[in-house]
Amino acid sequence: MTVAELKRTNTSAVFKNILVATDFSEASRRALRDALVLAAEGDARISVVHALGRVPQQYSTLESSPELDQERIEAEKQMRKFVEGLEPERKVEVLVRQGKVGDVVAGLIEEEKIDLLVIGTRGRGGISKLALGSVAEELLRVAPCPVLTIGPVAEVASAAQPMEFRTILFATDFGRASAKALPLALAVARANQAKLILLHMTAPMPVVSASLSAYAPATMAAEDVAEWQIMTHKRSLERMKEDLPQETGLEQEPEFVVGTEFLPEGILTAAAERKVDLIVMGANRSASPRAAAHIPWSVVHEVVRGAACPVLTVAG
């Protein structure tokens, strides 16, 4: 698709095969509602999947059993009721699979050539978890396709109020995941003729500085910190501009912002101040994605939890 063609399409045209993972919670219902709007606007294929969990050990050697068959039948009924309750205007493929949620969803993404996974989050308690549990946060890091997460305070689209991404915030740490997320941020911005804001957050002061001495006068230390901040700001701006291709195809000139707040507060503050409609960021892989899913204060987790808009992540 050429730049001119992208400019004539809407945002959702970037995604043609959408998968929604559901556990029948209200958070999942919110996610499905947004996914339906995206699918309708972009004429995309949409599927909804529910995982039944692992086969109990007593049934593992059997091809089928009355108990498992009945569980599947009941789940399929609940799935149809769940989908029909939103009165979709287009056909929704309903899938019930046996297995762990993470394995089921990852397998479907590969089998069905899914290019967008949509999940919802709930915000109960002091440490909110994703709607599907920690496995959903694991999917943010390991899914082979982009993941759109609808947080507990995000506004939800409707048929009367389409999902318009007029202002997009791309938060980068210059890592591998950010490098993978940038082309997607550009594609979505082009498709919706949106304003793209590139943001990099730096620490308010250097963690380690050989030039700062415990015995140096306070004024000297302050001057060193100020100089470091100026240089860091300059390097960050240069790096963001260098990472953009020469021809972005954007309708509007991109904006470059360097903040000095700590993550993730800086990202959320920038998003709120600029009233962005979508946050795009990379989700860095770790040596153990499953272990990373249980770190409650990860940057991605906190951004998803506090954002007033959907968050689109790409694992790197």
Going through 76-143 in order, the beta strands assigned E by DSSP cover: 93-97, 116-120
* pLDDT (tens digit per residue) in 127-154: 455 565 677 777 787 788 999 999 888 8
Q: Percent of the chain scored above 90 by pLDDT?
A: 42
* pLDDT (tens digit per residue) in 236-285: 999 999 999 999 999 999 999 999 888 899 999 999 999 999 999 998 76
State the pLDDT at residue 173: 92
Give residue 261's domain range.
Answer: 3-60+68-315
Residue 74: pLDDT band with limits 50, 70, 90: confident
pLDDT (average), residues 12-20: 86
The C-alpha atoms of residue 207 and residue 185 are separated, in whole angstroms, by 30
Of 5-9, 134-138, 310-314, give the range with the top mean pLDDT: 310-314
* pLDDT (tens digit per residue) in 185-215: 999 999 999 999 999 998 766 655 444 444 4
State the pLDDT at residue 117: 97
Longest pairwise C-alpha distance within the chain: 79
Pairing of strands 195-201, 167-171: parallel
* pLDDT (tens digit per residue) in 288-309: 555 555 444 578 888 988 999 9
Burial 51-89 (b: 16+ CB within 10 A, else e): bbeeeeeeeeeeeeeeebeebeeebeeebeebbeeeebe
Residue 126: pLDDT band with limits 50, 70, 90: very low
Total structural domains in the chain? 1
The C-alpha atoms of residue 314 and residue 172 are separated, in whole angstroms, by 12
Residue of higher predicted confidence among 244 and 219: 244
The C-alpha atoms of residue 88 and residue 40 are separated, in whole angstroms, by 9
Peptide bond between residue 264 and the one before it cis (omega within 30 degrees of 0): yes
Phi/psi for 72 (5° steps) reads: -65, -45
Q: Is residue 61 predicted with pLDDT exceeding 60? A: no
Residue from 136, 144, 146 nearest 170 by CA: 146
Q: Which amino acid is at 241?
A: K
Q: In this structure, what CATH number is given to the domain that contains residue 279? A: 3.40.50.12370
pLDDT (average), residues 153-172: 82
Q: Which of 59-63, 97-101, 143-147, 283-287 has the lowest mean pLDDT?
A: 59-63
